[in-house]
Structure 1
Amino acid sequence: MSHADNAANAAPDLDTLSRYLKTSETATSRRIPPLEKWHPTEVATMDMHIKANGEWWHEGRKIERPALVSLFASILGKEVDDEGADRYYLKTPVQKLYIRVDDAPLYIQDVGVVMEDGVQWLEFTSSTEDVFRLNDAHLITLRARDNDAVQPYILVRHNLEALIARSVFYHLIELGDLVEKAGQTVLLLDSGGVRYEIGMPAD
């Protein structure tokens, strides 16, 4: 059965989805639930659209409540189809709802320096309340998009990446060091006692 066929059997409803989440543990603690342990039988396509600037839209209208967006982001997942394309979805124990994403599904809006036991960490905050530090599990990469513009991304969770806002990346440049290495400009960032090299993507 195709996703389109399944969609006819499971009409997603934004209010029903939000009510389900609000009664779950996720609503009060914003813990990221174990999506990999959920195997819903209802599969559908939902008119949800995450724009490149981090805005979430439903049925042509922007979702204005940050708390609701944050809640939906906690059940966001990604898979790769047979053609190698990324597919994004919202998942509950009973439904898997495919949605549309323009670029990265998450968006980094702030970065700061945190000192802990004399060690400097770079701590990021997303528009959907994810807070994490630059480390081996959360690496930054630069990638060229279809318009040849190079943009910075960082791995957040569940194989989900976040686009780093331009202003945030400029701040990272101020916090780090730009050096020439093998004829290429490389950004060096210190976090958790480790020096990370951020280089331009290969041609």
Structure 2
Amino acid sequence: MTLPDLDVNFDGELPDDCGDLGISIDRQGRWFYHGSPINRKEMVCLFASVMHRAKDGRYLLITPGEMGCIQVEDVPFLAVEMFSCGSGRDKIISFRTNMDELVTVDADHPLRVVEAEGSHEPSPYLLVRKGLEARLTRSVYYELVAQGWEEELGGEKVYGLWSSGIFFPLGRLDLSD
């Protein structure tokens, strides 16, 4: 057995591959075990702390003794609260995830927005850690958008915001094309 291609170091033997663990995460960030909700937040946070993403896209829970796949409908985490300090280009924005992780938007934790084809409806994401993202909840996204402004990038007007000295585009202002 070989370990999936990801950044995890193990001393000694590789963990046992348990296959599909029967754990899933729905689009609303709810965790399930064989279809039944996992309601203990401490248990979910423990699972989240050992989650990794293989280069082939699979989500894995990996401990020194075992590893197995879980199913994720969209992304494993939600950004449920936003914090900001400073203003303009000196602003720093951070988010709290539904797993109580605090993540500051910076070069290692960028924001990205995916627009739905046709409707251009945005789905904003934040990189929490290598390969694992949080989707911003609608209310948090609206709070974020309220703090943005217009910049010109490559001759195009873009709406976005600054955090940690980096401009993060949220969307184009001219959607005519």
TM-score, normalization by structure 1: 0.70
- The equivalent position to 2:111 in structure 1, one of 126, 135, 140, is 140
- 2:63 pairs with 92, 95, 101, which one? 92
What residue identity is the alignment partner of 2:25? Answer: I
**25, 31, 49: which is aligned to 1:74?**
49
Label 1:153 to 1:46 Cα distance change in 2 as closer, same or farther (>3 A).
Answer: same
CA distance in 1, matches of 2:146, 2:55: 36
Instruction: State the alpha-carbon separation in 2 of the partners of residues 67 and 79 from structure 1.
Output: 24
Of 37, 52, 57, the match for 2:9: 37
Check the 8 A contact 2:112/2:169 in 1, yes or no. Answer: no
What amino acid is aligned across from residue 109 of structure 1 in structure 2? Answer: V
- Partners in 2 of 1:192 and 1:179 — Cα distance? 16
- Give the alignment's Cα RMSD to 1 decimal: 2.8
CA distance in 2, matches of 1:114, 1:157: 22
The within-5 A match list for 1:49-128 is: 49-81=24-56, 86-115=57-86, 119-128=90-99
1: distance between equivalents of 2:67 and 2:105?
30
CA deviation vs aligned residue, 1:128-175 (integer Å, no higher than 9, x gap): 111011101111111245896431111110211111111111000111
CA distance in 2, matches of 1:45, 1:147: 35
8 Å contact 1:184–1:199 — kept in the other structure? no
Q: Aligned with 1:80: secondary structure?
A: coil
Percent of residue pairs bearing the same amino acid type? 29
Secondary structure of the residue aligned to 1:69 is helix
Q: Secondary structure at the match of 2:64?
A: coil
Q: What are the superposed Cα offsets for residues 168-201 of structure 1, whole Å, 9 maximum, x if unpaired?
A: 110001111246767966332122233332336x
Letter in structure 2 aligned against 1:57? F
Q: Is the 8 A contact 2:82 2:95 kept in 1?
A: yes
Structure 1, unmatched stretches of 5+, are 2-34
3-state SS of 1:36 partner: coil
Gaps of 5+ in 2: 2-6
> Residue 67 of structure 1: CA displacement?
1.6
Q: Which runs of 4+ in 1 moved over 4 A?
A: 145-149, 178-185
The structure whose residues are more often helix, as a share, is 1
TM-score between both structures, scaled by the size of structure 2:
0.79
Alignment correspondent of 1:22: none
